[in-house]
Amino acid sequence: MKTWIKRALGLGLAAASVSALAQTPPTPGAPPRFPQITLEQIAPEGQELAKEILKISSVGLGGPYNIMFRSPIYADRMKKLLDYLRFNTSLSLRLNEFAILIQGYEWKSHFEWYAHYRLGLKAGLAQSVADDLKMGIRPRNMAPDEEVVYDVSMALMRQHEIPDELFYKARSILGEQQLVDLVAVSGTYVSVAMILAIGQAMPP
């Protein structure tokens, strides 16, 4: 097959995978489910956190924050959890971002994928692994620890359990703390994907 045909087919499949990835966007012309919140609208108990987020967030109070701040105490607790899972977890950043991308794909969360795809590549995840995931196939050429992250994540999502063989393999490669942190980051980003879904939040 000629190179240009292969390239065209590849681009077409990639475009199809991107459209298949997105959660349902807002109806054109319909008002947003959660209008963009402003600092002045946030309850007093959430003001300090909101100001902190404005200093560090590339989307300001947009994305999941726009929705979470409807419940400021929850937003505060969630931010503390995310700080651990993003910056202090026992998992390597490469594996952590891979786990988040798996949930982003499984939940068809375009915003989650948009936010973490580049972070995953920057952390050392091979682009071919991320792109295979986006195409809906088991990623090829994964490292042994990436295989464990993928298999554990998919088993929990699809079967809601981990078979003994996989559990002992995962524990031997990751160790107990990393295995627990893997489950923690996966479950937390399911929650983030749900938050984004109810608000029909789309990436820029």
- What tens digit of pLDDT does each residue of 8-24 get? 344 344 444 444 556 78
Q: How far apart are the C-alpha atoms of 120 and 167, rounded to whole Å?
A: 25
pLDDT the model gives residue 193: 96
Find, among 149, 152, 132, the residue nearest to 141 by Cα. Answer: 132
Which CATH number is 91-198 given?
Answer: 1.20.1290.10
pLDDT at residue 179, rounded to an integer? 98
**Burial classification of residue 60, based on how many CB atoms lie within 10 Å of its CB (0-12 exposed, 13-18 middle, 19 or more buried):** middle
Q: What is the pLDDT of residue 9?
A: 41
Looking at residue 41, its pLDDT comes to 95
pLDDT-based confidence at 2, cuts 50/70/90?
very low
Query: Do the beta carbons of residue 171 and residue 179 sit within 8 Å?
Result: yes
Residue 35 is predicted with a pLDDT of 95
Helix 144-158 × helix 93-106 angle, to 10°: 30
| Confidence check: pLDDT of 118 > 80 | yes
Mean pLDDT of 193-204: 91
Q: For residue range 49-72, what is the model confidence (pLDDT) as tens digits?
A: 999 999 888 778 998 999 999 999
The model carries a pTM of 0.86
Cβ neighbours, 10 Å, residue 201: 25
CA distance 150 to 145: 9
What is the H or E stretch that residue 197 is in? helix 176-198
Q: Nearest CA to 63 among 168, 196, 190, 169? A: 196
Q: Stretch 83-94: mean pLDDT, rounded? A: 95
- Residue % of the chain over a pLDDT of 90: 78
Higher pLDDT, 6 or 101: 101
pLDDT of residue 121: 98
pLDDT cut 70: percent of the chain above it: 89
CA 64 – CA 201 distance, rounded (Å): 8
pLDDT, the chain, mean = 89
- Report domain extents, the chain: 35-88, 91-198
